[in-house]
Amino acid sequence: MTTLHQIAVIPGDGIGREVIEPAMEVLEQAARQWDFTLAWTTYPWSCAYYTEHGHMMPGDGLDRLAESDAIFLGAVGDPSVADDVSLWGLLIPIRRAFDQYVNLRPLRLLRGIDSPLESLGGAVDLLVVRENSEGEYSEAGGRLFAGTSMETAIQESVFTRRGIERIMRYAFDRAEERTGRLVSATKSNGIIHTMPLWDQICGEIGSERPRITVDSYHIDALAAYFVQRPETLDVVVASNLFGDILSDLGAAIVGGIGLAPSANVNPDRTYPSMFEPVHGSAPDIANLGVANPIGQIWTGALMLEHLGHPEAGAAVVAALEDVLADSDIRTQDLGGSASTAEFTRAVLDALRSKR
């Protein structure tokens, strides 16, 4: 009997709805070739759903998602609904309720993609491990004396020993599997309470893991290294805010936001993890059939890896690279003229020869 995985699908809005089906088609074919089964359950939760029902997902939405082995999400957001409503009504509740405390963003220059940094010569292959549950993105704080000349805003960061230890351990594990090198993003010269704790715990865990080489860089210098010498970086661990910025910067140096995959991971597997590309719903190109499906397909490859099918996941990424390197079929964000469907067809053809 083949392994069966239950996948909850949330296409969302805009190009989310246009790239999810092509990606599902590619993953389906990988499943057939590697002999496992993906059972999809699609939920229409989105801004359109909000407009009709007054909420982004029904009251039992999280319970329904909890039954799945993974969540595959397109993108959520529409100009008719405030972005904080769509984000805090769907994505954030899922990330928090399912304790997806790792946001994983691989950044690799695919064969056939030119980096805006021409001198790179194809060497970028790094993994940003972003803390996804606490840090700078917290609800602690408030606004005082609103509307007066004394108006004051206070926004607290929350860094807990438990939160830092678990993201560090995860990052050290990834470094061990890869090249044994870890870079930690800090700013302990300017942020003098939370970042020294971050550095201290990084050092503590580092002393348990002598095989891993750890460098701590201040975030400003590290941002420059992403541009000047990204080939020297491998696994980068960062707090919520620093990781957010670094991974978008990283996406830019490896070809743009339409290509970038991401995973919200619950490493303990007590709840499903959620796989979504970095890009949003792109209302400016929605309904034209021209969205780049690479980010969504690559995200799907990360999901296959998480579900225990690393070979199938690697083959999907290799198929993307074959199309980019061996043909000029590409979507318009990469300077081509292929539609989403045409590019996907080429990926399916390339995948077919992989096993």
Nearer to ligand NAI, 88 or 145 (CB): 88
Nearer to ligand NAI, 250 or 295 (CB): 295
- Alpha-carbon span 212 to 3, nearest angstrom: 35
- Alpha-carbon span 25 to 38, nearest angstrom: 11
Per CB under 6 A, does 75 bind ligand NAI? yes
- Long-range CB pairs of 265-269 (<8 Å, 24+ gap) are 265/100, 265/101, 265/102, 265/103, 265/104, 265/306, 266/98, 266/99, 266/100, 266/101, 266/102, 267/101, 267/102, 267/166, 267/170, 268/99
Per CB under 5 A, does 25 bind Mg ion? no
> Shortest CA distance to 202 belongs to which of 191, 193, 213?
213
Per CB under 6 A, does 77 bind ligand NAI? yes
With beta carbons less than 8 A apart as the criterion, state whether 111 and 77 touch.
no
| Contacted by 244, from ligand NAI, Mg ion, none: CB < 5 to 8 Å by type | Mg ion
Nearer to ligand NAI, 164 or 285 (CB): 285
Q: Is the dihedral of CA 221, 226, 228, 234 positive or negative?
A: positive
Contacts of 313 (CB under 8 A, 6+ apart): 30, 301, 302, 303, 304, 305
Instruction: Please pick, from the candidates 281, 303, 317, 324, the single residue that binds ligand NAI as defined by CB under 6 A.
Output: 281
Instruction: Please pick, from the candidates 99, 244, 305, 322, the single residue that binds Mg ion as defined by CB under 5 A.
Output: 244
Nearer to ligand NAI, 29 or 103 (CB): 103
Q: What is the DSSP string of 308-334?
A: T-HHHHHHHHHHHHHHHHH-----GGG
- Which two three-digit tokens encode residue 134? 């606490």
Least Å from the CB of residue 301 to ligand NAI: 16
Per CB under 5 A, does 131 bind Mg ion? no
Piece of the chain touching ligand NAI by CB under 6 A; list 127-135, 144-152, 212-220, 272-280: 272-280
Per CB under 6 A, does 135 bind ligand NAI? no
| Contacted by 99, from ligand NAI, Mg ion, none: CB < 5 to 8 Å by type | none
Nearer to ligand NAI, 38 or 75 (CB): 75
- Which two three-digit tokens encode residue 324? 């980019």
Piece of the chain touching ligand NAI by CB under 6 A; list 140-148, 190-198, 265-273, 280-288: 280-288
Nearer to ligand NAI, 89 or 212 (CB): 89
Least Å from the CB of residue 277 to ligand NAI: 7
- Alpha-carbon span 293 to 334, nearest angstrom: 12
Q: Which residues bind ligand NAI (CB under 6 A)?
A: 15, 75-77, 83, 91, 257-258, 276, 279-285, 291-292, 295, 333
